[in-house]
């Protein structure tokens, strides 16, 4: 059996091992695969593993030996699943491997915004504290999180993990969710979108990207928010209208934003959020802790083993 990993670098830049796949057959690993390289590299493969390399209908139809596609991520929009189903190709993904890592990134952004540790560290390297006439100084707001309202849009595994951390900080938590209010954890209040955006001091996005949630944060929603509010997006870039958010930040409609995802990745150099006032941008790192990537690799191996044993798990087709 020939197993080909099309774009392994994003998951494993060299600090992990691909050896778990070698028990199943001949393994070829490529750091990245351009569209014009796909046919040659995937030819005669029965198994393909992809993170972001697109496998559309044309690509799948050109691979008659292909029986299995393992997506090395939770989102599987890079694969034409309808075409795969028609061609009898099994497609699996990796669910729930990065829950705590993404929740950690939410609060990394929030604490970076409210405490500005990096800002003061840089100022002090340049001598500002040493030259200060007083024992301390600050030059921007220093809000305390306790008592503030944390609004969560979407209440799946990650949203629930974020809620637990917010509650530990002493925050009030509101959630926009399809779940009944009676099943929400103690301390979590169910709220509609209008209430959540207008009353929350922090809004964090954890809903899936669908036609209904695309640009769920738009100019109208941003106008509902408090001028002191903070928006966090570690979900999907297109949940946010980036032009509207940049405008809201630059004009003081909201205080700050922390985003780990953008609508196009890597972003264009002229993406407005890269230069917007009080916008903190990280390069889609929430999933990428070593611990989360180890879990991802372990699940990917287990998915392939289950498929070969005739007991498919985590199938999306």
Which residues carry out catalysis?
236, 265, 284
**Burial of 173 (C-beta count, 10 Å sphere; 0-12/13-18/19+):** buried
Phi-psi region of 96 (alpha: psi -120 to 50; beta: other; left: phi over 0): left
For the chain, how are helix, strand and coil distributed in percent, rounded to 5?
35, 15, 50
Residue 243 CA to residue 81 CA, distance in Å, equals: 31
DSSP conformation letters of 276-293: STTEEE--S-TT--HHHH
Are 286 and 102 spatial neighbours (Cβ–Cβ below 8 Å)? yes
Question: H-helix or E-strand containing 257?
Answer: strand 256-259
Task: Put the strands of the sheet holding 26-29 in their side by side order.
Answer: 26-29, 2-5, 47-50, 68-71, 90-92
Q: Which two tokens stand for residue 85?
A: 């189903």
Q: Which two tokens stand for residue 114?
A: 């409210």
Are 105 and 260 spatial neighbours (Cβ–Cβ below 8 Å)? yes
Burial 249-284 (b: 16+ CB within 10 A, else e): beeebbbbbbbbbbbeeebeeebbbeebeebbbbeb
Are 53 and 31 spatial neighbours (Cβ–Cβ below 8 Å)? no
Give the residue among 105, 116, 110, 164 at the shortest CA–CA distance from 139.
116
DSSP code at position 23 = G
């Amino acid at each position: 059996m020939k197993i080909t990993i099309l774009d392994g670098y994003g998951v494993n830049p060299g600090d992990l091992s691909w050896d778990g796949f070698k028990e199943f057959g001949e393994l070829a690993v490529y750091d990245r695969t351009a569209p014009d390289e796909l046919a040659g590299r995937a030819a005669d493969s029965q198994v393909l593993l992809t993170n972001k390399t697109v496998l559309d209908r044309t690509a799948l139809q050109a691979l008659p030996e292909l029986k299995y596609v393992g997506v090395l991520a939770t989102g599987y929009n890079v694969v034409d699943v309808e075409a795969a189903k028609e061609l009898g190709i099994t497609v699996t993904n990796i669910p729930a491997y990065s829950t705590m890592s993404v929740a950690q990134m939410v609060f990394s952004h929030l604490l970076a915004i409210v405490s500005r540790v990096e800002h003061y560290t840089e100022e002090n390297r340049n001598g500002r504290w040493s030259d200060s006439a007083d024992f301390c100084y600050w030059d921007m707001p220093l809000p305390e999180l306790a008592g503030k309202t944390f609004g969560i849009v979407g209440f799946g595994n990650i949203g629930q993990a974020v809620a637990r951390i917010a509650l530990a900080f002493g925050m009030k938590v509101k959630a926009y969710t399809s779940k009944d209010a009676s099943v929400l954890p103690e301390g979590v209040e169910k709220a509609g979108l209008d209430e959540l955006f207008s009353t929350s001091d922090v809004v964090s996005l954890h809903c899936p990207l669908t036609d209904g949630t695309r640009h769920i944060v738009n100019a109208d929603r941003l106008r509902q928010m408090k001028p002191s509010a903070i928006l966090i997006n570690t979900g999907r870039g297109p949940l946010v209208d980036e032009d509207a958010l940049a405008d809201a930040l630059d004009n003081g409609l909201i205080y700050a934003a922390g985003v780990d995802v953008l609508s196009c990745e890597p972003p264009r150099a002229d993406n407005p959020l890269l230069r917007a006032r009080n916008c903190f941008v990280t390069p889609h790192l929430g999933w990428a802790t070593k611990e989360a990537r180890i879990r991802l690799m372990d699940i990917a191996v287990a998915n392939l083993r289950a498929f070969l044993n005739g007991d498919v798990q985590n199938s999306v087709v």
